[in-house]
Amino acid sequence: MNADNDQRDTSAGGATGPPQDGRQRVEEELRRRNRTLVMLNRAHQILIHATQEPELLEAICRIAVEDGGYRMAWVGYAEQDEHKSVRPVAQTGFAEGYLRTAGITWADAERGRGPTGVAIRTGKPTLARSIAGDPNFEPWREAAIQRGYLSSIALPLSAGGTVFGALNVYAMEQDAFDAEEIGLLVGLAENLAYGITSLRAWAALQRAAAALRESEAMLQGLLESYPEPVQLVAADGTILYANRTSAARLQTRAEDLIGGCLYDSLPPDGVAPRRARIAEAVAGGKTVRFQEVQAGRFMDHYICPVLDCAGAVTRLALIGIDVTEHKQMEEALARSEAGYRRLADNAIIGICRTAVHGGVLYANEALLRLLGFEAMEEMNRDGFVDPYLDPADRTTIGELLREEGQVTNVEVVVATRNRETRIVLLSATMEGDIVTTMLIDITARKRAENRVAQQLRELQRLHDVSRGWEDRIRELKAEVNGLAKRLGKTIPYPSLGE
């Protein structure tokens, strides 16, 4: 510490040393004011040139001790945790672990009623004029006096009306802070808070700028790797950007396109329609989509307005997508679906597609005849879900579909619209929420099978009856043979044997 600091630390500002006459007190007061002015001047220079928040905080604490002659200075930030802790972020001076064990908070509790906690909580400078006698300093008194702290002041740091921390200064004299010095320290704290806020704003701006550059680079990379032509144009058609694909389609270089006119690359009969669509996008501020056939290729074009902060269209992004293969696939799929529908419509098997939660999506003529409907609309109007007569069938088949995705050749009884019953072989598959069902009417076959079974049972009964008569006749013949033998006559039925 410099000579001025030595003199301040040992002076009799009210606590130690012999009485001083008026001249000595004035000279001491002058030295104190000069130290404070030097401190503020250096702090001002630090605030102007600081680029990092931690460095600024450390420098202000160091200046308060080295130039201001204070025993210790530290900065604490108010945490928004459960205990409302105050986290020390910078300190200079004679501390010897003071802050490690202080446990200071800004809650309205014992360790939050000292100068730091009150300053953060109220947003006002808070003094401990005599640490030895201040009851609110009780939790830290012994440790403070051991380190030579006899008075202190906590100065709130705020931004936008919110206190986020405090600058804390400790002196070796009791009642070391008079009104003028308090005012100067308040100014220092305000400047420090402004410096912190400015550095944070600058850091946020730098991060935003870096993120913007990264985003622009990423967008540039995406546009250059995009396999379809992309251009950025002004409202008058001037090309501001063109990706490699766009240049390749026009058999030129991207840099040769930039600055040129969009309409120069269009056929004469295509200029007016393109101008009209660009005007539509500019006027409406919405994307305009249209399709063109160019050199035998189907192209989907998108004109996307780019808006400024005020919502005005400043430029337009033009994107062309070759959808020829997609168009061909759509046409092939449409032909396939038409063929499938013709096949299904002419099939003798009943076919329908239904949504799991209700609604018939398709039903062929065979199914309509089977269930007694004239049109699919009637099925939806009647709330048709499924044709099962027995609720147990509905439950079983539903579980099989959910577990295995299909059922095959399950014999069930269904009810027609007129409440007649039909016996069918049911097969079904489920894809997502759609169930495709095929019904084969086997009612006539089942009835024929039942008749055949009944006839077989009758024949069996007759066979059993006739076989009983045969056995009785055989018994009678045997009795006749026995009587003839006993009478000594010729046996009439020798084929029966003895």
36/56 Cα distance (integer angstroms): 18
User: CA-to-CA distance for 71 and 92, rounded, in angstroms?
Assistant: 9
Is pLDDT at 285 greater than 70 in this prediction?
yes
- Residues 361-372 pLDDT 10s: 888 888 888 888
Mean pLDDT of the 14-36 span: 62
Tell me which of 22 and 213 has the higher pLDDT. Answer: 213
Nearest to 65 by CA among 37, 102, 28, 94: 94
Binned at pLDDT 50, 70 and 90, residue 376 comes out as confident
Tell me the mean pLDDT in the region 198-205. Answer: 91
Concatenate the DSSP letters of all residues of 344-377 into one string: HHH-SSEEEEEETTS-EEEE-HHHHHHHT-SSHH
Q: What is the mean pLDDT of residues 129-153?
A: 96
Domains of the chain (ranges; CATH) run 3-202 (3.30.450.40), 229-322 (3.30.450.20), 330-441 (3.30.450.20), 452-496 (no CATH)
- pLDDT value, residue 114: 96
pLDDT of 13 reads: 37
Maximum average pLDDT range among 94-108, 216-230, 315-329, 429-443: 94-108
406 φ, ψ (degrees, to nearest 5): -160, 160
- pLDDT band for position 132 (50/70/90)? very high
Under 8 Å between Cβ of 199 and 288: no
Please report where in the chains the tokens 């009478």 appear, as a residue: 487
What amino acid occupies position 214? E
pLDDT interval class at 245 (50, 70, 90): confident
pLDDT attached to residue 418? 83
pLDDT of 496 = 65
pLDDT greater than 70 at residue 25: no
Of the candidate ranges 47-51, 192-196, 222-226, 330-334, the one whose mean pLDDT is the lowest = 330-334
Rounded to a whole number, what is the largest CA-CA distance in the chain?
Answer: 183
192: confidence class by pLDDT, cuts 50, 70, 90: very high
Query: CA 237, CA 260: separation in Å to the nearest integer?
Result: 8
CA distance 463 to 459: 6
Q: Cβ–Cβ contacts within 10 Å for residue 66, how many?
A: 19
Task: Please determine, for residue 151, whether its predicted confidence score (pLDDT) is greater than 90.
Answer: yes
Q: What percent of the chain is helix, strand and coil (3-state, nearest 5)? A: 50, 25, 25
Overall average pLDDT of the 398-414 stretch: 89
**pLDDT confidence of 11, banded at 50, 70, 90?**
very low
| pLDDT attached to residue 170 | 97
pLDDT band at 7 (very low <50, low <70, confident <90, very high): very low
Most confident of 156-165, 173-182, 289-298: 156-165
For residue range 253-263, list pLDDT tens digits in order. Answer: 988 889 999 89
Cα–Cα dist 172/14, whole Å: 11
